[in-house]
Amino acid sequence: MINRDPIYQQLNKALRALLASDQYAVGDQFLTERMVCERYDVSRATANKALSNLVAEGVLKFRKGVGTFVDRKPRSGQFLSMTSFTENARRAGLEPSTEVLRFDQLATSEDTNAIACRRLQVRPGDLLYRIERLRKANGAPMILEDRYVVARYCPDLLQHDLNGSLYALFEQVYGLNVTRTEETIQAVILNDYQAGLLGVSSGAAGLVVSAVGYVDDDQPLWWETTVHKPDAFEFRCQVNPGQNYQTLEGHVVLENYD
């Protein structure tokens, strides 16, 4: 049978299978970019992308001047280095909670958010879930989420409780493996609706993160915008330079709100 998956996707699966085998143990040095090119007959750009993705997932770790090493064995269904608000809050010693403001299913049309449709690669008539939630820590509002989810990956999602981590729901209930996200961070002026829910003055500055989450067939699962309370978060990024590639990981640090 002909494999019609994109070359990058085939390479990603091959490298994950290699890492999961007995050939490599945690701590072992892994293939270089050049070795990947020669072994799998792919371009340097393709090898670059695959290795960068594995470093970003936390499966591989780059050590400057030494090489790339196995940091942990890949595990199916794990959410890799991504963490949810629920996990971030608990790590900070806070009690997370969620208020679901909107949760419904809709068929895409010309009235549906155009950016969401484009980023999710959906067509008119395709089904989406729209979920709007207010995330809180110790009862204080922290994040206003507005998320669109491709319905075919999550049948009967309307029957589930959305008061906890959606990452955990995607993984544990639907068996989805979210391999990566693409995120942008912008400073904005909060409108009356956003400011009211987050408990700040209208016209205050805020941070908006727009993100697409992809499952392991490299297809988009969700698109969301999250408005963060400006005095409750800081974003830290770490750049890990590789031989000819770089990875960027973002971490949200929740400050201690009583």
Written as one string, the DSSP assignment of 135-199 is: EEETTEEEEEEEEEEEGGGSTTGGGS--SS-HHHHHHHTT---EEEEEEEEEEEE--HHHHHHHT
- pLDDT tops 50 at residue 180: yes
- pLDDT tops 70 at residue 12: yes
Full set of structural domains in the chain with CATH: 7-70 (1.10.10.10), 85-254 (3.40.1410.10)
Higher-pLDDT residue of 168 and 241 is: 168
- pLDDT tops 80 at residue 89: no
- pLDDT tops 70 at residue 247: no
Tell me the pLDDT band of 168, cut-offs 50, 70 and 90. Answer: confident
Higher-pLDDT residue of 255 and 127 is: 127
Could you give the angle at the alpha carbon of 208 between the alpha carbons of 240 and 48, nearest 5°?
25
- Amino acid 74 reads P
Could you give the angle at the alpha carbon of 89 between the alpha carbons of 61 and 227, nearest 5°?
90
Q: For 122-142, what is each residue's pLDDT tens digit? A: 999 999 999 999 999 889 899
- pLDDT tops 50 at residue 77: no
Cα separation, 16 vs 25, whole angstroms = 13
What's the pLDDT at 80?
35
Phi, psi at residue 240, to the nearest 5°?
Answer: -110, 95
What mean pLDDT, rounded, does the chain reach? 81
Q: Is there a contact between 90 and 97 (Cβ–Cβ < 8 Å)?
A: no
